[in-house]
């Protein structure tokens, strides 16, 4: 057994897998075990495929060509070559390799579908794919090649090619090495694909679904971070917490996400001496929209995520292949590989992420402008004019926001025909997923900049002190980034805050403070 395997184990059973299972395998290298019931079901269904393969009646995917070439009946002697040729020709991706966690998610989701028995593969195919995952062998999947219809064809084909002992792959440390060498080291044997198995390995929405599940996990944390950074901005700008009172949200406008975000902000500002300092003598009637409407915007992201989770859970329960083996043993062509349901929510999330990025940047800009910041020095500089303070941090933030607005243009609104017009409408769900990953990374950096700016602004409000929640977060920030002072290398400070978000440390502090409140 590989001594590097982690103790966490995910079982592939007939009942399917959860989103958490995908994350455990993709991001935390959980080991996979296949239940005996799955192996028995695969053997039973495979006997039905073998019977069809020996018949004189052509069956798509078993004894015919593929796509626009589906009308050609393939003689028995050529069928192994047919499967091998399918995978080699479809592994046509180009560009940079995608991230290891994306490939691992894609492979696990395909393994999950193989385990249903609806694809007709032999047990050895599933066992070898699981072996690759358990031994940390990651095929190199290239950025471009999927149109999000007929499955994520090229990405999955690059994985299937490695299953055959060919192609490109990296070891557990990310070093690209010869595939035969990796197989030998792991004690694995390459698979010679039989009838139906080539298509079964490449007809799925696994890449786009895996990226959706990981984006949802990241956005769950970033939504909490956005509530926190918004609260710190309100506090730093001497705003009011009264617009976040519960009676102004669920009873009047019952959006669950808005209610959650307002409650988070109200709790973060509770017992804040800064907020209390101006409550009785504040001449302003209302704060600006970017402060006052923060729960409405972050809450809308939360509700968009809830819809996306519903779609993702349905897709997780799916057994996508074409053709598919039905319970009665028949093999039927279908269109379930079309990625439209997943593509739409990926694009919807990108729109919400862009808007959340935009409102965070507006809150940041207010803190840097002496006309609107209520007594803070220009750009929060130590000596404005000599020092530029956080001026260019907002430039970087604005650049990230501009990029996210561009990434919010839906991929799924487009289509491009392929395969001699047989596949004449595609989802472009892979493209939607790739741009959402970039947008989520950009959002994290936007929020990191807001936290860095708001933290400095709160320091400059002393001797007034922030509340317990924001004080705890500020203490963590100061453990990594120095407080106000003369200009210094700013990029390093911003990246340090970004790493606090990426590592989950800020959200850990949030959860700890909330649990003791």
| Tens digits of residue pLDDT in 230-285 | 999 999 999 999 999 999 999 999 999 999 999 999 999 999 999 999 887 666 77
* Interaxial angle between packed helices 206-236 and 256-268, expressed in degrees from 0 to 180 and rounded to the nearest 10: 40
Single pTM value for the model: 0.95
Average pLDDT, the chain: 94
Tell me if 209 sits within 8 A of 312, measured CB to CB.
Answer: yes
* Interaxial angle between packed helices 429-460 and 468-480, expressed in degrees from 0 to 180 and rounded to the nearest 10: 100
- Confidence band, pLDDT 50/70/90 cuts, at residue 482: very high
Smallest CA-to-CA distance from 403 within 353, 363, 449 is with: 353
Separation between Cα atoms, residue 396 and residue 498, nearest integer Å: 13
Task: Report the pLDDT averaged over residues 397-420.
Answer: 94
- Confidence band, pLDDT 50/70/90 cuts, at residue 517: low
- pLDDT of the residue at 430: 96
Do the strands 9-12 and 31-34 form a parallel or antiparallel pair, or are they unpaired? parallel
Positive or negative torsion for Cα 504, 509, 510, 516: positive
Stronger pLDDT, 420 or 97, i.e. the higher one: 97
Among the listed residues 60, 144, 289, 395, the single catalytic one is 60
- pLDDT of the residue at 470: 97
- pLDDT of the residue at 52: 86
- Confidence band, pLDDT 50/70/90 cuts, at residue 42: very high
State whether residue 135 is helix, strand or coil.
coil
Separation between Cα atoms, residue 224 and residue 31, nearest integer Å: 30
- pLDDT of the residue at 228: 98
How many CB atoms sit inside 10 A of residue 48's CB? 17
- Confidence band, pLDDT 50/70/90 cuts, at residue 150: confident
Separation between Cα atoms, residue 492 and residue 490, nearest integer Å: 5
pLDDT digits (tens, 9 = 90+) for 122-143: 999 999 999 999 999 999 999 9
Q: CA geometry: angle at 419 spanning 314 and 93, to 5°?
A: 75
Q: Which residues contact 175 (CB under 8 A, 6 or more apart)?
A: none
- pLDDT of the residue at 2: 42
Q: CA geometry: angle at 308 spanning 232 and 38, to 5°?
A: 125
pLDDT digits (tens, 9 = 90+) for 67-88: 667 777 778 878 888 899 999 9
Separation between Cα atoms, residue 358 and residue 344, nearest integer Å: 22
| Known catalytic membership, residue 289 | no
Domains and CATH numbers, the chain: 9-204 (1.10.275.10), 211-276+286-516 (1.20.200.10)
pLDDT at 457 over 50: yes
Supply the DSSP symbol for 162.
H
| Share in percent of the chain as helix, strand, coil (round to 5) | 60, 5, 35
Separation between Cα atoms, residue 470 and residue 21, nearest integer Å: 33
**Given the structure tokens 């455990």, which residue do they identify?**
24
**Phi, psi for residue 459 in degrees, rounded to 5:** -60, -40
pLDDT at 144 over 80: yes
pLDDT digits (tens, 9 = 90+) for 311-354: 999 999 999 998 899 999 888 989 999 999 999 999 999 999 99
């Amino acid at each position: 057994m590989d001594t590097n395997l982690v103790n966490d184990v995910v079982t592939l059973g007939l009942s399917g897998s959860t989103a958490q299972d995908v994350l455990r395998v993709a991001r935390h290298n959980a080991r996979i075990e296949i239940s005996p019931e799955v192996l028995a079901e695969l053997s039973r269904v495979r006997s039905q495929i073998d019977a069809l393969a020996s018949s004189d009646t052509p069956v798509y995917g078993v004894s015919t060509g593929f796509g626009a070439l589906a009308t050609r009946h393939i003689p028995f002697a050529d069928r192994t070559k047919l499967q091998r040729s399918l995978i080699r020709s479809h592994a046509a991706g180009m560009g940079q390799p995608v991230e290891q966690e994306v490939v691992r998610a894609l492979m696990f989701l395909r393994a999950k579908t193989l385990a249903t028995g609806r694809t007709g593969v032999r047990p050895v195919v599933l066992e070898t794919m699981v072996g690759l995952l358990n031994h940390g062998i990651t095929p190199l999947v290239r950025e471009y090649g999927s149109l999000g219809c007929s499955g994520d064809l090229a990405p999955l084909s690059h994985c299937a090619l490695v299953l055959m002992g060919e192609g490109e792959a990296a070891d557990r440390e990310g070093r690209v090495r010869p595939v035969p060498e990796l197989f030998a080291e792991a004690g694995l044997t390459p698979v010679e694909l039989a009838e139906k198995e080539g298509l079964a390995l490449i007809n799925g929405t696994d890449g786009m679904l895996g990226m959706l599940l990981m984006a949802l996990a990241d956005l769950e944390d970033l939504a909490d971070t956005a509530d926190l950074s918004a609260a710190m901005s309100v506090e730093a700008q001497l705003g009011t917490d009264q617009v976040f009172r519960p009676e102004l949200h669920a009873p009047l406008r019952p959006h669950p996400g808005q209610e959650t975000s307002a409650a988070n902000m109200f709790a973060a500002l509770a017992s804040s001496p800064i907020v209390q300092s101006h409550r009785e003598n504040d001449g302003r009637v209302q704060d600006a929209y970017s402060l006052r409407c923060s729960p409405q915007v972050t809450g809308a992201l939360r509700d968009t995520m809830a819809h996306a989770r519903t779609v993702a859970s349905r897709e997780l329960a799916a057994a996508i292949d074409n053709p598919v083996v039905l319970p009665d043993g028949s093999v039927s062509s279908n269109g379930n590989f079309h990625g439209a349901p997943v593509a739409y929510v990926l694009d919807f999330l990108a729109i919400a992420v862009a808007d959340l990025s935009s409102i965070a940047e507006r809150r940041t800009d207010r803190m840097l402008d002496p006309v609107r910041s209520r007594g803070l020095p220009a750009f929060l500089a130590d000596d404005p004019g000599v020092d530029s303070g956080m001026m260019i941090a907002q430039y970087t933030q604005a650049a990230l926001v501009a990029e996210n607005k561009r990434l919010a243009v839906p991929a799924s609104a487009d289509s491009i025909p392929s395969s001699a017009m047989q596949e004449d409408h595609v989802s472009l769900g892979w493209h939607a997923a790739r741009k959402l990953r970039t947008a989520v990374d950009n959002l994290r950096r936007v929020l990191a900049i807001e936290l860095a700016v708001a933290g400095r602004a709160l320091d400059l409000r002393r001797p007034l002190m922030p509340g317990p929640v924001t004080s705890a977060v500020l203490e963590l920030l100061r453990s990594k980034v120095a407080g106000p002072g003369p200009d210094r290398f700013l990029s390093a400070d911003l990246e340090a805050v970004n790493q606090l978000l990426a590592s989950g440390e800020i959200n850990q502090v949030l959860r700890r403070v909330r649990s003791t409140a």
